[in-house]
Amino acid sequence: MSDLDDLKAMMDDATPKPDAARRAENLALAQKNFQDLQGSREQPRPTSATEAKGLWTGVTTMLKTFTGKAALTTTTALVAAGFLVMTPQGQDLLRPPTSPEITRTEFDGTAKSSQIESEPLFADEIGSDMLVQEAPSDFVGEVIQAPQPTPNPETLPRVTSPANEPVAPPAPPRPTIAQQPTPSTTSPASDLEMAETTAPDAAAALGLSLEDQQRFRSQSSGTQRILLDSMSNQSPRDASRLSNGNAIHPGAMFSGGGAPQADIVAAPTPNTEAFANDDTNPLKITSEDPVSTFSIDVDTAAYSVVRSSLSRGQLPPAGAVRIEELINYFPYDYPAPDAGDAPFRPTVSTFQTPWNADTQLVHIALQGEMPALDDRPPLNLVFLIDTSGSMNDPAKLPLLKQSFRLMLDQLRPEDEVAIVEYAGSAGQVLAPTAASERTTILNAIQSLGAGGSTNGQGGLQQAYAVAEGMKEDGQVNRIILATDGDFNVGISNPDALKDFIADKRDTGTYLSVLGFGRGNLDDATMQALAQNGNGTAAYIDTLSEAQKVLVDQLTGALFPIAGDVKVQVEFNPAQIAEYRLIGYETRALNREDFNNDKVDAGELGAGHSVTAIYEITPVGSPAQLSDPLRYAPNTVAASSDELGYVKLRYKEPGEDISQLIETPIIGESIPGTEANFAAAIAGFGQLLRDDSYLGDWGYDEAITLANANRGEDPFGYRTEAVQLMRLAQSLSR
C-alpha cells in the first residue's frame, strides 16, 4: 500500500466498465447538444449589420477594393523621397561623393539638364556602330512639359548602344532653381513596370494637374523609368534627369537663402532590363477558392538570369526570379510514362514543408516520355537572329554564333536550316538548306554582324513566312529566335506582340526564344513571345548554358510531345485550410480556361519534366494564417480523405481536342531525393524573391537540403545550384 503502483493496480481493478446503455445515451446526448450548438452558431444574428471578417479576409478585401495599388506605391515612394529630400541624412544619401556628374547612358542624347541645349553633344563619342535614332512619334506626346523658365528637352533621341560605357559630359550641369517656398518631392519609382502604370493614377490621386507633373518616359525599348515630380502648385521647377533607373533629385533645397543647386545622382550602370513577373501568388483559403489553375512552364530563362546576376556579384532583381523556372531548370528522375500511356506521367506526393513543420508541400511532377530518337521527324529550323546594334557584345552575338555551331552538330542530314536576321529591317541570310551542308550554314552564321535598330516584328513575320515555305507533312517546324529582347521598331509592346504571335501559332510552327546578354535584356518581351508562340524561353549566359539548352536537352527543346498542358488542382476544404502555389505567377489561368481548348498553355518537350509545388496548411494546423469564419456554412465534405484532386489537360501535338488525366492527392509520404531537391530550389527562389512565408528558414537550410539531395547529377547542374546558393548567401549578408 505504500507504493502508488499498488494503489493504481487496486484502482484499476476497482474501476468498473461503463454501462453500455448509459454510454450510448451519453454519447447521443453529446451529439445532440453538439448539433444544437452548431445550429445556433450557423444562424447569423439578424441584427448584425456588418459582415464578420477575419484579419486575413479584411486585409485581402481592402487590398482588392482599394482603387489603386499604384496609389499606395506612389504615396509610399513619396514619403521615402520626402525623407531623402527633407532630412539631412536623406540629403547625404542623395549627394554623390564627388561633384555632380552625369554618367552618360543610353539616353544621354536626351538626358540633358535643362540648361544644356539639346544638341547631341556626344556625337563624337558615340561609336560608329551605334545608331542615333529618332524616337517614335508617340513618344513626343508623352513628354509633358511643365511651365518653367528654362527649356526642356524637346525630343528624346535615342541612342542604341551597348549601354555600358559611362562618359562624362563636357560640363556637369548645374541647374539653378528659384528658391521655393514649399518643399518639392521627388519620387524615384524604382520598379519600371509598376511605375509606368502608376504615374497617371498617382498623379490623379495626388490631385495634381497635368502641368504639375513632369513626366519623362522613355519609349518602349524597355527603358521605362519615371521621374515624377510632384511639387506644390505653381512652383516653377527644374528637373535634371538622368536616364533610366536612378532618378535624380531635381533640387529645391531650402537651406539658407542662397540659390540651391540640384543634387544629381549619377546612374552607375545604366540598366534597361525588363522582367516579366507578377506579385507572388497569395495564400488562398480553400473554402473560398478551392480551385487553382495554371499552365505548365518549361522555360529556364529565369535560372540563367539569376545565375548571371549572381556571377556578377549582384543579387538578381526580385522580378527576375520566376521560381517555377528555377525548379524546372533541372532534369529530374521522375517515373516515366509506360509505353502506350499518355505522353507524360503525373506523380503527386505530399510531404512536410522544409521551412514549416505545420504545413505540407504537394509536389506535382510531370515526366514526359522520351520517344525513340532514331525515328524522330525531320526538323525545319528557322534561325531568327537579332543583329541589331545592341547585340554587339561579347556575351551576345559572338556567343550566339558559338551556340548555334554547337547545335548544328546535333542536326541530321535530312533537317533543314534557314537563317533570317533582323535589325532595322529583316532579311533572309540563308535560304532553306539541308543540315548536311554544314559549311554553307556555318559561313552564313559567321557572316552575321551587328548594327542597326531592332525590328523584331518584321523579323518574326519573315521567319514565319520562311517556316511556312519549309513546311511538309510529318515534319516539325520551329523558329529559334535569338535576341536580347530589345525590340524597338514595329510592335514592341509585349501585349501587342502576344496578339501577333497568337495568330501565328495556329500555323503549327513552334517558337523558341533564346535570350542573350544583360544590360537591356527584355525578359518581358521574351516571355510574351515564348508563352504565346507555343515555345520555350531560355537564357544563354555562358557557353555551358548553350551546351545544356542546345545540345544536352535539344530533343526536349525541339520536339513537343504534348501541347497546351494545363493543371487544375481542387483542394478539399475538409482537409486543407489554406494553400499557396509556389511560382507560376505569370502562368495563372482562369478556372474556366482549363476546359477551354481555345486557351493556350505551355508545351511539354520530349523527356522534359515539370514540377509544381503547393504549400498547403491542413485544417487545424497551427500554421493556418487566417481565422476560420464563424458564419461559414458547414458544408464540409468530411467523408473524403483526399487532400485534393489534380486534373491535367493536354493535347497531342497537332491536335485540337484536349485529353484529361486525373489523380487524387492523398496523404503524407516520405519525400524522395528529387522532390527534396525541388523543395530546396523552391525555398531558394523564395529567399531571392520574397521570403515572407519561410520563417527562420534561410540559405543555410536551403544549402543543406539541396546538398543532401543532389542525387546522381551527371551534368553538375545541381552542384552548380548549391554554389549559387552559397554565392547568394554571401551577397545577401
Partner 1 sequence: MRMMTSDEDLATAAAHGDGAAFASLLERHYDRLFAFCFRLTGARAEAEDLTQDICAALPAKLASYQRRAKVTTWLYRVAVNAAHDRRRKRATYTKATDGWGDWENNRTAAMKDTNEQIDWLTAAMNQLNTDLRDTLALVLDDMTHAQAADILGVSEGTISWRISEAKKALRAIKEKEDVA
Beta carbon of residue 26, minimum distance to partner 1 (angstroms, whole number): 4
Q: How far apart are CA 522 and CA 484, in angstroms?
A: 6
Helix/strand/coil percent split, the chain, to 5: 35, 20, 45
Beta carbon of residue 18, minimum distance to partner 1 (angstroms, whole number): 4
**35 vs 659, beta carbon nearer partner 1:** 35
**24 vs 93, beta carbon nearer partner 1:** 24
- Do 519 and 160 form a contact (C-beta atoms < 8 A)? no
**35 vs 425, beta carbon nearer partner 1:** 35
User: What is the maximum alpha-carbon separation in the chain?
Assistant: 108
Q: How far apart are CA 425 and CA 626, in angstroms?
A: 56
Beta carbon of residue 4, minimum distance to partner 1 (angstroms, whole number): 7
Q: How far apart are CA 119 and CA 154, in angstroms?
A: 10
**25 vs 51, beta carbon nearer partner 1:** 25
Residue 618 β-bridge partners: 576
**34 vs 66, beta carbon nearer partner 1:** 34
Q: How far apart are CA 417 and CA 84, in angstroms?
A: 56
Contacts of 327 (CB under 8 A, 6+ apart): 583, 611, 613, 678, 681, 682, 685
- Do 239 and 229 form a contact (C-beta atoms < 8 A)? yes
Beta carbon of residue 45, minimum distance to partner 1 (angstroms, whole number): 17
Beta carbon of residue 573, minimum distance to partner 1 (angstroms, whole number): 11
- Do 136 and 79 form a contact (C-beta atoms < 8 A)? no
Q: How far apart are CA 663 and CA 327, in angstroms?
A: 22
**29 vs 731, beta carbon nearer partner 1:** 29
**20 vs 657, beta carbon nearer partner 1:** 20
Beta carbon of residue 42, minimum distance to partner 1 (angstroms, whole number): 8
Beta carbon of residue 595, minimum distance to partner 1 (angstroms, whole number): 30
Give the single-character DSSP code of 274.
B
Q: How far apart are CA 682 and CA 689, in angstroms?
A: 10
**1 vs 372, beta carbon nearer partner 1:** 1
**14 vs 657, beta carbon nearer partner 1:** 14
Q: How far apart are CA 409 and CA 450, in angstroms?
A: 24
Beta carbon of residue 29, minimum distance to partner 1 (angstroms, whole number): 5
Q: How far apart are CA 323 and CA 694, in angstroms?
A: 14
> Dihedrals φ, ψ of 79, to 5°?
-65, -45
**165 vs 358, beta carbon nearer partner 1:** 358
Beta carbon of residue 575, minimum distance to partner 1 (angstroms, whole number): 8
Beta carbon of residue 41, minimum distance to partner 1 (angstroms, whole number): 7
Beta carbon of residue 560, minimum distance to partner 1 (angstroms, whole number): 40
Give the single-character DSSP code of 178.
P
- Do 100 and 174 form a contact (C-beta atoms < 8 A)? yes
Beta carbon of residue 695, minimum distance to partner 1 (angstroms, whole number): 18
- Do 264 and 241 form a contact (C-beta atoms < 8 A)? no
b/e burial code for range 25-63 (CB count within 10 A of at least 16 → b): eeeeeeeeeeeeeeeeeeeeeeeeeeeeeeebbeebeee
3-state secondary structure 110-136: CCCCCCCCCCCCCHHHCCCCCEEECCC
> Computed from CA positions of residues 115, 119, 121, 122, in that sequence, does the dihedral angle turn out positive or negative?
positive
Beta carbon of residue 31, minimum distance to partner 1 (angstroms, whole number): 6
**42 vs 499, beta carbon nearer partner 1:** 42
**Binding stretches for partner 1 (CB under 8 A):** 1-2, 4, 7-8, 10-11, 13-19, 22-23, 25-27, 29-31, 33-38, 41-42, 574, 618-620, 622, 628, 634, 636, 638-639, 641, 667
Beta carbon of residue 105, minimum distance to partner 1 (angstroms, whole number): 57
**42 vs 165, beta carbon nearer partner 1:** 42
Beta carbon of residue 11, minimum distance to partner 1 (angstroms, whole number): 5
Q: Please, what is the end-to-end C-alpha distance for the chain in angstroms?
A: 65
Beta carbon of residue 621, minimum distance to partner 1 (angstroms, whole number): 8
| Concatenated DSSP letters of 196-255 | HHHHHHHHHHHT--GGG--B----TTS---EEEEEPPTT--------STT---------S
**66 vs 631, beta carbon nearer partner 1:** 631
**555 vs 621, beta carbon nearer partner 1:** 621
The full length of the chain comes to 733
**348 vs 384, beta carbon nearer partner 1:** 348
**How far is CA 324 from its chain centroid?**
9
Pairing of strands 185-189, 344-353: unpaired
* Number of CB atoms found within 10 A of residue 622's CB: 9
Instruction: Give whole-number Cα distances, 54 to 39, 57, 286, 619, in Å.
Output: 21, 5, 15, 16
**550 vs 574, beta carbon nearer partner 1:** 574
Q: How far apart are CA 452 and CA 245, in angstroms?
A: 24
Beta carbon of residue 361, minimum distance to partner 1 (angstroms, whole number): 19
**534 vs 575, beta carbon nearer partner 1:** 575
Q: How far apart are CA 530 and CA 538, in angstroms?
A: 9
